[in-house]
Amino acid sequence: QLQLVESGGGLVQPGGSLRLSCAASGSIFIIKSMGWYRQAPGKKRELVAAITDGGSTNYADSVKGRFTISRDGAKNTVYLQMNRLKPEDTAVYYCNVAGVRIAVWADYWGQGTQVTVSS
């Protein structure tokens, strides 16, 4: 099975920055898209940003202009650069990888990394 390892979460003051990383490894898998979701206590999980293997990106309106998603295809790693963080960004951030294995669509989730924005 595909393994996803996330890192980069932590405590940061409003206006600060963090960079999340998610590295995929394990089974043979053709990655089609990688993305970041977040879930705050009592809230539903929501898409933050995603990037396809072709380089197309999509961002939630709340993070446009502040967050940047990128990927390193050779390393099967996706990054989320988060700048000018706000308290409303506090959540557990989950990496998601979707693609094809043996001609069957599948997706995987990382374990989540906590991002807390507070003074």
21: pLDDT confidence band, cut at 50, 70 and 90? very high
58: pLDDT confidence band, cut at 50, 70 and 90? very high
* Residue 28 pLDDT exceeds 80: no
**Exposed / middle / buried, residue 83 (Cβ in 10 Å: 0-12, 13-18, 19+):** middle
Distance CA 9, CA 98 (A): 22
